[in-house]
Amino acid sequence: MVRLSHRGICVNDIAASERFYRDALGFEPYQDHGVIEGPDMAKTMQIPGVQLRAVMLKRQDGPVIELLQFLEPPATGPREKRSTLQYGLVHISFYVDDIDAWAARIAKAGGTIYEETRAYFAANDTTMLYCTDPDGVRVELMKSPGEAERFSHSGICVEDIDASLNYYEALGFTPAENYVLDQGFDWLGVINEVPGIKLRAQMVRDAGGNTIELLKVLEPASFGSRERQPLNRFGLTHIAFWDDDPATTAAELAERGGYFVEEAHVTTPMIELMHGADPDGVRIELMRPISSAG
Q: Is residue 130 within 8 Å of 119, Cβ to Cβ?
A: no
Q: What's this model's pTM, rounded to 2 decimal places?
A: 0.96
Alpha carbon dihedral 279, 282, 283, 288, in 10-degree steps, equals -70
Classify the phi-psi angles of 203: left when phi > 0, otherwise alpha if psi is within -120 to 50, otherwise beta: beta
User: What is the separation, in whole angstroms, between the first and last Cα of the chain?
Assistant: 19
Tell me what pLDDT residue 188 has: 98
Q: pLDDT digits over 212-238, tens only?
A: 999 999 999 999 999 999 999 999 999
Q: pLDDT digits over 6-39, tens only?
A: 999 999 999 999 999 999 999 999 999 999 999 9
Q: Which of 162, 159, 95, 163 is nearest to 129 (CA)?
A: 95
Q: pLDDT digits over 103-123, tens only?
A: 999 999 999 999 999 999 998
Instruction: Concatenate the DSSP letters of all residues of 106-119 into one string.
Output: HHHTT-EEEEEEEE
- C-alpha to C-alpha distance for 46 and 42, rounded to whole angstroms: 6
Q: Which residues pair with 3 in a beta bridge?
A: 242
**224 φ, ψ (degrees, to nearest 5):** 100, 175
Alpha carbon dihedral 1, 31, 235, 16, in 10-degree steps, equals 160
Residue 244 burial (CB count, 10 A): 11
Q: pLDDT digits over 173-221, tens only?
A: 999 999 999 999 999 999 999 999 999 999 999 999 999 999 999 999 9
Helix axes 14-23, 99-108, angle to 10 degrees: 160
- C-alpha to C-alpha distance for 184 and 281, rounded to whole angstroms: 28
- C-alpha to C-alpha distance for 55 and 36, rounded to whole angstroms: 11
In sequence order, the 6+-apart residues with CB closer than 8 A to the CB of 39 are: none
